[in-house]
Amino acid sequence: MKILKKELIITNKLGLHARAATKLAQLSMKFQAKIIIELEGKQADASSIMALMLLAGAKGKSVKVITQGEDAEQALKNITQLFTDKFDESE
């Protein structure tokens, strides 16, 4: 099974707070791929808002996105876009 990994930097002002975590979880649930977010050695299932918030990802932190499964490439692409768009937050 294909496993893809990519390092992303959290660039939105508030980091992985409740709203950003919710957006990431909702996006992750659209895919069949298993999506893991890793920060400083801790891992969280990207479809779990609580798990994402417990990572306490602040602005400027680097996270590793790991996708595994059928639509892993599309999942990684969409998640990368969400990070690039700063979770659609106005700064």
Q: Which residues are catalytic, by number?
A: 17
In the numeric block, which tokens belong to residue 47? 């479809």
Pairing verdict, β 34-39 and 62-68: antiparallel
Helix residue spans in the chain (DSSP H): 18-28, 49-54, 72-84
Nearest-angstrom CA–CA distance, 74 and 52: 20
